[in-house]
Structure formats: structure tokens, C-alpha cells
Structure 1
Amino acid sequence: MLEYRSYFTADGVADDAPFITTSLAQVHAWLRSKRYEADLVVSGRTVGIGPAVEAALTQERASDGSESALFRLEEKAGSGGTWTTQLLLHDPRHHGRLPWVWLDVVAPGGDVERRRWAAVPRLASSLLEVLDARDGGARLDPNITTTTVDDVESLVTALEDPHRRGPVFVAGSDESLPMQPWRQLIRKLLVQTTGLAAGYVLDPAATTAFAELTGGTHHVDAGTMRTYLPGVQLGDDFDARRHRVLHTATILQDDGKRIVRILGARARETTLDTPLPRAAVRVEERLLRQTDNELLGRPADALTRTTTPPPPRPIPHSVDQEAPTGRVGDSASTGDLAPVTSPVAAAENVETRLALASALERVLGSGAVTPDAVSALAEQALESARLRAVLARRESQLDTLTNTVIELRDQVEDLNHRLDDEQNEHGITAQDAREQTELVRALRLRLNRVAATEAWAPLSDTERESPVPESFGDLLSRFSELEHVVWTGDSGTTEELDERNPLGGWAGKTWDALRALDDYARERLAGRCTTFDAYLKDIPSGCHAYPANRHARDESDDVKHTAKYAAPRLFVVPASIDPSGRVFMGAHIKIAQSGMISPRMHYFDAVTTDGHIYVGYIGRHLPTQKTN
């Protein structure tokens, strides 16, 4: 499965050296760092450079003067499958057209829902050391530097560049932030986006200037970092929701790995989902064909590196040649040293000759053992070896294509299910919105009859609630705002949902449910309600609501009494609640219906015990007999 894809243009090369020559030098250095025999990799050959490791290099100079190079490395990991690294370089050598780099890493196996993680290949980092890499107008420099006011306008232009393929991460600052540690932290957080995304750290003046140019919808605050996906539309409120903000609290609470992986995954998803330029695909197709042609025409000894075999024993002119007898000196009169052939050796020669004659008969149609016939047989063997190598390559490519088709088919099926679910969700949400609008209208009319005209006034700042979280990472950092609800779950599992819901709608719905749980706990402690079900069906005045039909008091008997379904629903609670530190959390809230993901929140109501509700899980739908 394709796990990593980097595509960028090169606006310059270190020391003004030739683009392809410099890039291939980095390839050879990378191979040597892996302790492979890099010197064997030359254009026009496919060679083994290590145990179960094969490399191929193909170069081309087209009639229009452009130059291209295709490098492929296949590393077989036994039963673990084959890892394939492919690098395609193209230099148009035309004014106004920049050279480009396309790097893919294909991992064995894979899952549409849970893509296998492939770390940034060192080859990508090596190439960026010598190339001035650009994604559209964005600079792909892993050594993130501070952006000043003079660079802000070009940064905004890069954000709006229609040719940009990957995300751009922009961090803001103010005078209270020490720039050096802040820049080092941002560099650390973006370490798994190398070759995929651009990163910028704005100094205080640049942060202000950036806000002025991007407006209130697309700015970035000090101490936060914002992800700008391709297709930025400044001034568009709806578009602004696509570009997520990583808040200060989330950054400070990170363990040093979680955010790195989330941002890396986001960058991978974005670049993998963006189609490649058709011209690049055509270059790849042409060089792959050339690689196969070179494989057919090369010497067979390049298939696998072996020691040079000893020269074949001479074939006697006649199978019934009589072996000479006597001492060596007895033949001196002839001037020749006749070989001493034992009866056993003679028998072996006869057997060998008969086998050779049989092989010639099967392959050439004639059993005559002649030098020309033997040469023809050898050529057939060489040709067969070449064809087997090409066939093996084709089978590998076919396996990859087959896996891709299966993955795409599964993805289409999943997306169709999710589309149906999302359309249904949208219909329900639209109906709820209409009902709420109608209710507000009716209430305002009633208040107007008693001269309560302030009912028509817009909300004041004190009446407005704090904004809902834009992501699950933001949501987890805000549990402290809830008086009676405590989080005990796995944050990593929860934040994986952000990858499937980039606009943050699920996080907002989850926050609504958490506020409803918090208000319920307060009402129950006051003796004004008995169960969360009853609370949702008759919302007390001034309390937060959540649809009653999206709450389940418990799981089905099938789930509760089947170990493989019950075990995943055991979540952490304090020992004061259960000495084992875990309880079965059957009560859950349906956040959304979306295919096999359909996020759920599981909780344990301990209000009557210690005044708290413990939320042990927010994540994708847990297994049941229907989803298994």
C-alpha cells in the first residue's frame, strides 16, 4: 500500500550543480548508509545490492533535451512482504519550467481504514539537503526559520497558490514567546512532515501583518499553529473551518509523540489524496517500459550476483572414445598429454552427453551435439533468465495493482456507506434546525406579547458561550471546563477521529454531549432528575440538550455476555469506583453515523457515588456482532 508520496519542484541545486547528477549522488549516499553496494547501481541495469535487495536505475535524454531518471529499490522482508522505494527525477531543461522530484514508498499489505505508518524516508531528507524544494510557492525546508514581515506577503501568496499539493503549517507568536525555543518546538512537531509540507514560524510583527492580510477568518494567533490545506479561500467563513488550529494547551500537554504522528498523518493523507500531474505520470510510464526493455537486453549475470562459475569440462568428440592406458610418459612420442579417463568418468561423460543431447532435442528440435548447438542452447537459457526476471517484475507490479484495486474498491464501498450516513445525518440536522428555528420564533412572539422586546436583541458577550472545540485534540484539553465529567480514556484513539472528520463537526457534537452530561450531573445532585435518559427527554431550564434518540442506557445482552465484545468496553475508573480500576461502560452516546467509523462515547455514571461521570472512551464504533 502506498504510504508516503512526496512531489515537489526544485528551484535550485546546491553549488549550481546538475539536478539529476546531484540527486543521484544523494541516492548512492543513502544506499551506502544502508550498507548496500551502491557502486553496483548504474544506469541500464537491475542488480542485487544486498541480501534480498534489488535496485534498478534507468536514465533517459529525450529529443526535446529533457532528462529523466527512474530509481527503484525493492527490499524483501521475508514473510513481511516487500518494501518498494521509487524515485523519479525530471529536468525539462527549458526556461520557465522547473525540475521536479517524485518519491514514493510502498509498504506491504495495508488497510483502508488504518493506513500503515511509513516514517519519512531518509532519502527524502537527503534530497532536501541539496535541493531548494518548493510545493507551489511554499518552501519545503525542514530547517524551519523565523518568518519576518518582509516574507509575509509571499507566504500568503503561497497559501493561495493553486498548484500547492500539501499542507502549510504556520505558527504565530508575540513578545511573550521566546522565539528560539518556540521555533525548535515547531520543528520537532513537524519532523514527520518532511518532504510533504511547509512550515513557517512568524515573529511577532509578522504574526500581526499576517492577520491583517488574511483577515479574521484565516489568521493564526500567538502560541498556536494552523494547518492550511490546499485551496485556501481567504475571507470565506466556511473555508476557514477546513484549516485546523492547534491550540497552545494542546501543544503543551502533548507527550512529544502524539501531535507529531497526527500532523504527519494529516500531511500524508493530503498528499496521497491529491492527483499527480499527468505529465509526471507519462514520464513514469515511459521509464518503466524502458526499465523492462533494458532488463531484457542485459547480461544474465546481472540478475543475481554470483561468483564466476568454473569453465566447463571439455566435451569429448566421441562418446565411445577409448581411454588411453599406461603412464603419462608413454604418450610422449605423440607430443600430446592424453587425459587419463577412468571407466567411471567415461560413464559420466556418456550420461552428460546424453542429457545434453536430450536438452538440445527438446529446445532446438535436434539432438546433434555441436558447438553451434550448445551456443544456441546457452543463448536460449540466457533469454529464459531474462524473461523470468521480467515476468517476476510484472508479477510484482500486478500484485501491487491488484492490491490497489482491492483497496480502492473497499474505499469506494466505505465512502458510499459514509455518504449515505452523512446524507441521513444532514437530513436529521436540517430538520432539527428547522424545529429549533420555529421554536425560537414562537417563543419570541410570546415574549413580544408581554412587551419583552429584548427577546429580539442579539446575544450579548456574556450570553454567548465559549466556542465549541474545533478538533478532538482541542476537546480533550477542555475537560477541565466541566465540573462533573472526568476523562479517563486513551487520547490517541480519540484524536484519530480528526483524520476522518477534518471539519471538526464530530468534536463539536461530542462537546454538546459532554456539556449535557455535566448539566445532568449537577441537576441530579440537586435532586431535580434521576437518570440521563429522563434528563434528555425533559431538558431543565437553562441546561444543555442532546438528542434523546442518540443515547443508549446500556449495550445489548449479546454484547454484555460475549467476551470478545464485552472486553473492549472495559474502561478506566478510579479504584474508589471499582478496585480493579476498570468497569464495563455499556452506556454510550452516538456522536455520528458514518460507515464503519460511526464514533461513540462510552461513560460510567457515578454521580450518586462520588458526584462524577467518567468518560472512558471516545472513538470509532466498538465491535458488535453486526460490525464484526
Structure 2
Amino acid sequence: MPLVYRTIFTVSPPHDVIDLSLDTFSTWLAHKSGGKHVDVRRSGHYALDHRYTVKVIRHENPDEDIRFLRLKTESTHDRDGTVWRTVLTAVSDPGRASDRTVWVDMTADQPGEEPEEERLEVVRPKLVRSFLNAARCSDGAAVLTEEPVIVRGRDEQAVDALLAAIGDDTRRMAVIVTGAPADLTVVGWRAAMTQVLKFACGMYAGYVLDRAAQERVAARLPKDFDVPVGGVRTFRPGVRLSDPGDPLRHPRLSTRSMDAARTGGMVRSWVGRALVHSVREVILDAPLPGELRSLDSLLNEEEAELSALPAGLTLSPRATVVYSTESATASRLSVVPPTGQDRTTELTGEIKRRNARIAELEKERERLLAELAETEEERDQFQEQLRAARHENTWLRDQLRRIGQYALAGAKPPVAPSERPPNDFQELLERMTDHAAFPYLHMTIDDSLDDVRELSGNKKERLWATKAWEALRALNDYVRYQLTHPDNGKTLHDYLRDQPDGFHTIPVKRMAAHESDTVQNRAKLSGKRVFRVPAEVHPDGEVPMFAHIKLDTEYGICPRLYYYPDLGPGRTNRIYIGYLGRHLRVHSTN
């Protein structure tokens, strides 16, 4: 089932991690269930109502002073049938690395739904917030709090603690560091960033720096690891300050980007989506520590004992004890057996959920197979281009030898400039304005940057940003080819189908020279495709743009890049990029 939230942290003394977990969980559960309580003193399986069940798994070994606790809730959403599970695991095992650890997972299973393109969003988890507000919780040297920690330059210990958190090899989650902008106090900026990062609570350690702290941190970090004033730097685990390539792993939101995304202390929602996606993927995609994996297996076995008898769900103002034991390994005490009708209903629902899940997986398999076939086709094309380039290189060196240019024939070429694609759309936006990289392109999307930033945070973001980058290179090189070969007569379609030597292209099937007749002839639809251009291109300052590049073909967001070629004698000989964002409306979605 899809994992949508995870946090792992250590609770510092004097709190007892087991007692704190029991108290916090009980309070949270009572709030969630309208005041109902379960007996958390012993292992048991409880039904709060027809859609909400709780499991308590306690494993204790007094001789070795070992205590393990697992508290698990399962609820079904009334409207869409999504099954939500929250699992809290607490460890008290002195002498082990996992001692005093709390681990919280949330999963969401959507039966009968289309496969999600991205993980479900999770509101601020109150259970985790309660932990962070009740005790000092940490991820290695990084401190986890509901609000980012303020670091002032006059506090040398706070600066040292921040740098220790950044460089700590034991931490599992991201550290987000931001410098207060000039027009806001550090307290005001903390409030703004708390709101931006509210859905990532518990999955990151946050720090807000005043100007003096920014200067002190900048003096002790390499330049490429800078924290921009008013911007944001996300430090993923495993920072390598001495590695010149490592800064690329740690996303950076520049001052300019953040200034464009805020009005005073109000920050646009795309920033939060991008940051939350970044920190969430860090913890969700990382493997569990070995000790927790072993503990998980043990507690799963003991949970299976609780689940050996089915849960009879009965309505009651109090929790119904379905199964309860004195300890995880004790004999069973009492059982409330389900009726035959209840059991039939339960099994029927389970069969429906599993059949729906099978259908989802089949669709996902078909999608992945289609994507694999497309990737293999592109790979074959690139391999053929590589073979042809190597053959040409050998032939040219042979020609040089034949005319006596032996030294030149054996010379090594200079190191090729890096053409690494951008990691995300924020980096792509910054590169798009680089006239040295795209001298023949003109971006007119300044008034619709939110359409681009809306793509941030999707699990396909890097793929889409890469395809957009490739499309921009191909369009730029097409203009260059037209200017250096004025009599070639090639359309963009011809250029992409027959790649000239030394010029970038993309697979021709990504390009669409126009929209359908329905879209182009209906004002309601074609009007959505009118974008800005300079007055020298059209006196109205805008033109319809129907030509576009497809960055994805799957159902859903399916980003598109719309462009307008102004090429030929007496023209500007530029291609104008008017739109980059989700698929615009067509007749079928209108």
C-alpha cells in the first residue's frame, strides 16, 4: 500500500519514550474518535466503530529492560473508500542505536481509483506535532520542531549546532535553511516559512537565519553550498562539503525566485508544494535502518497473532474489544466472535478491494511497458547516432593522416561542456533566462510563471524538466540551423526527423505543429492559446500559439510547451516560448 508519510526521530531525556508515546497516542485517538478510548496497557485489537479499528502491540522483556510498542489505527473514508493507516512504533532498548526512537508511518490505499501520478497529500499530522511540542525530538544532530528554529549570529553555539546538523552523516531527513529577506524580521520570516512547510511537519529540520547568522554560515560553508538571502537551501542527508559536485544534490531556491513568489510574508503555494515534495521524497525513498527493519518483522509477527481472529465490527458508544492479551506473547483471554453476516460482508469488501488493487497494478504495468518501449526506441536512436558519430570521427582522422596532419589526427579534443539537464523546474526557469544558453529563444512567460511552478513537486518533475530542456535546445538549434543554412527549406518536422550534424533534436513525435480543428476554430479553446510576444513580432503584443512540444503523453497533467517561430527575411529570427505548464483544455476536457 502507498506510503504517504514517514518520520523517525529520537526522544531526549527525561521523557520515557514508551510512556510519552502512549499518552500522546491516547490523546490523539480520543480527539480523532470523538472521545473514545482503548486500553493501551496490554496488546489488543479494538473496533471503535464500523470504519475505525485500533491495534495495540506491546513486547516487553523486563530482564533485559527492553520495551517495544506499536499502535496502529485503520480507518475508511466515508466518501471515496480510501483506507488510511497510521502506525506508531516506539523503542526503548538501552545500548542499541535505535533506543528512544519513535517511528510514524502513514499509508493510504485507494481501491478502484486510477493510479496516482503523485503521492497523496497529508495534512499536518497532529500526532507528530504533539510529539514535537511535548519533548525534544531530533534526527541525529538536527532538531525537529513544528516551527523552524531561529539562528542568530550572536549565538555561536546555535551556529555551530546548525553546521553540525548539516554535516551529520547519521541524519535521515532533510535540513531546510533559509535566510530572512531584507524586508522581514527573522520572526516574521519564520512564521511565513512555518506556513509554507506545514504539510512537511516532522519530515525535516528547519532553520531561519538572521543576517549575522547568514554571514557566519557563509564564511564556514563552501560558496556552492550558499544559503541565499530570502531564498531556501535544502540539505539532503550525506552532505560532502569537499565534493565539488555535491551541491547539485541539494536543491536551492534563489532570492529572485522567492521574491517573485511572495508578497511580504505571504508565499505562493507552489513554493510549499516544491519544498514538501523535496523533503518527503528524501525520507520516503530511503530504506529503513537495519535495527528498525528487524523490529518491524518482530512486531508484524506479533500483530498477526492479534489478527488471527477476524475483527467483529459492532457499533457502540465505547470501543469494542475484539481481541486482547496481557502481553504480546500471552494466551488469548476473550474473543467477541463475529456473526456470519458480518464475516461475509467483511470478506466481500476485502475481495473488492483486492480486485481493484489488481486492476490498478495491471494499468500501472501497461503504462510502464509503454514508457519502457518509448525509452528503448529513443535509446536505439541515440545508439545509432553514436555509432555514426564514431564512424565519422574515425574517417575524419584518416583523412587528416592522408594529408600529413598526423599530430592533428591524434590530438585529443577539448573537454566537452557539461550539458546536464536541470533537476527541477525552478532550475529550468533560471536557465531559460540565460541568453548565452539559448540565444535564439525569447521567453514571454513572465506573466504565467505560476503555470510552470504548478508542475513542481510532482514525482515526474525531473523527467518533465529534462524533456523541456531538450525541447528548448532543439528549438534553439533549429533557428541556428536556419540561419547557417538559409536555403535548406526544412520545416521543424523535417529538421527533427533528419538530425543535422552538430545540432540538437528531440524525437519528432514529441512535436505537434498545430492543434486540432476543433481547438483552433472554437474561440473558447483557441483563446487559451494566445500568448505574449514583443510588438516587433505582432503589433497586438500577442499571437495564437498552436505549435507545441509534448512533455508527457500519459493521462493527467501532461505538460505542454507552446512556441511561436518568427523566422525568415525581415523577421526577428527567434522562437518565442509563450507557455509551459499543464495540458490546456481541449474539447474532451471542456
Mapped partners of 2:61, 2:269: distance in 1: 46
Displacement, 1:156? 3.6
Residues 1:248 and 2:255 are matched in the alignment: yes
- From 405, 427, 434, give the equivalent of 1:474: 427
- From 138, 150, 154, give the equivalent of 2:142: 138
Mapped partners of 1:602, 1:87: distance in 2: 46
Matches within 5 A, 1:139-178: 139-147=143-151, 148-158=158-168, 160-161=169-170, 164-171=171-178
What is the SS of the residue equivalent to 2:37?
helix
**Partner in structure 2 of residue 336 of structure 1:** none
Mapped partners of 1:48, 1:228: distance in 2: 42
Change (3 A) 1:498 1:399: closer
**Partner in structure 2 of residue 128 of structure 1:** 132
Displacement, 1:278? 1.6
**Partner in structure 1 of residue 576 of structure 2:** 613
Displacement, 1:272? 2.9
Mapped partners of 1:66, 1:395: distance in 2: 40
Mapped partners of 1:578, 1:303: distance in 2: 72
Displacement, 1:264? 1.8
The superposition leaves residues 479-525 of structure 1 with CA deviations (integer Å, 9 ceiling, x where unpaired) of 6667743225822454356744279644532442464578799x69x
Greater per-residue helix proportion:
1
Matches within 5 A, 1:404-423: 414-415=367-368, 418=371, 421-422=374-375
- RMSD, aligned CA: 5.5
Change (3 A) 1:384 1:134: same
**Partner in structure 1 of residue 331 of structure 2:** none
- Of 589-598 and 165-174, more deviation after overlay is shown by 589-598
What is the SS of the residue equivalent to 1:107?
strand
Does structure 2 retain, via aligned residues, the 8 Å contact 1:71–1:88? yes
- From 218, 221, 224, give the equivalent of 1:211: 221
The superposition leaves residues 131-150 of structure 1 with CA deviations (integer Å, 9 ceiling, x where unpaired) of 43333443332321134431
Letter in 2 for 1:207: V
**Partner in structure 2 of residue 227 of structure 1:** 234
Matches within 5 A, 1:263-342: 263-276=275-288, 277-292=292-307, 303-305=314-316
Mapped partners of 2:539, 2:282: distance in 1: 44
Does structure 2 retain, via aligned residues, the 8 Å contact 1:475–1:511? no
**Partner in structure 1 of residue 121 of structure 2:** 117
- From 455, 470, 495, give the equivalent of 1:509: 470
**Partner in structure 2 of residue 29 of structure 1:** 27
Does structure 2 retain, via aligned residues, the 8 Å contact 1:573–1:583? yes
**Partner in structure 1 of residue 94 of structure 2:** 94
Mapped partners of 1:492, 1:8: distance in 2: 30
Mapped partners of 1:515, 1:417: distance in 2: 29
Letter in 2 for 1:616: Y
Does structure 2 retain, via aligned residues, the 8 Å contact 1:479–1:485? yes
- Of 595-604 and 106-115, more deviation after overlay is shown by 595-604
The superposition leaves residues 528-567 of structure 1 with CA deviations (integer Å, 9 ceiling, x where unpaired) of 99965578799999xx9531754766469xx825789x99
Mapped partners of 1:549, 1:294: distance in 2: 57
Mapped partners of 2:531, 2:550: distance in 1: 25
Displacement, 1:244? 2.4
Displacement, 1:285? 0.7
Greater per-residue strand proportion:
2
Query: Which structure has the larger Rg over C-alpha atoms?
Result: 1
Displacement, 1:114? 3.6
What is the SS of the residue equivalent to 1:250?
helix
Mapped partners of 1:570, 1:259: distance in 2: 29
What is the SS of the residue equivalent to 2:93?
coil
Mapped partners of 2:25, 2:443: distance in 1: 54
Change (3 A) 1:280 1:415: farther
Change (3 A) 1:37 1:594: closer
Does structure 2 retain, via aligned residues, the 8 Å contact 1:242–1:502? no
Give % identity. Answer: 20
What is the SS of the residue equivalent to 1:198?
strand
**Partner in structure 2 of residue 57 of structure 1:** 56
The superposition leaves residues 26-70 of structure 1 with CA deviations (integer Å, 9 ceiling, x where unpaired) of 223223434612335545555554674444434332464432333
Does structure 2 retain, via aligned residues, the 8 Å contact 1:295–1:389? no
Residues 1:257 and 2:255 are matched in the alignment: no
Letter in 2 for 1:138: A
Does structure 1 retain, via aligned residues, the 8 Å contact 2:519–2:586? no
Larger relative CO (CA 8 A, sep 6+): 1 or 2? Answer: 2
The superposition leaves residues 383-414 of structure 1 with CA deviations (integer Å, 9 ceiling, x where unpaired) of 64278778877777777777666656655665
Displacement, 1:600? 4.9
Change (3 A) 1:582 1:421: same
Mapped partners of 1:281, 1:403: distance in 2: 27
**TM value normalised by structure 1:** 0.64
Does structure 2 retain, via aligned residues, the 8 Å contact 1:107–1:118? no
Does structure 1 retain, via aligned residues, the 8 Å contact 2:86–2:106? yes
Mapped partners of 1:432, 1:466: distance in 2: 17
Displacement, 1:96? 3.9
What is the SS of the residue equivalent to 2:137?
strand
Change (3 A) 1:528 1:408: closer
Does structure 2 retain, via aligned residues, the 8 Å contact 1:10–1:99? yes
What is the SS of the residue equivalent to 1:9?
strand
Q: Which runs of 5+ in 1 are unaligned?
A: 308-381
**Partner in structure 1 of residue 548 of structure 2:** 588
Displacement, 1:166? 3.4
Displacement, 1:204? 1.7
Letter in 2 for 1:93: D
What is the SS of the residue equivalent to 1:90?
strand
Mapped partners of 1:268, 1:230: distance in 2: 13
Mapped partners of 1:266, 1:432: distance in 2: 35
Mapped partners of 1:484, 1:575: distance in 2: 11
Does structure 2 retain, via aligned residues, the 8 Å contact 1:597–1:620? yes
Q: Which runs of 5+ in 2 are unaligned?
A: 152-157, 262-266, 319-334, 436-440
Does structure 1 retain, via aligned residues, the 8 Å contact 2:511–2:550? no
Change (3 A) 1:245 1:411: farther
Does structure 1 retain, via aligned residues, the 8 Å contact 2:17–2:101? no
**TM value normalised by structure 2:** 0.68
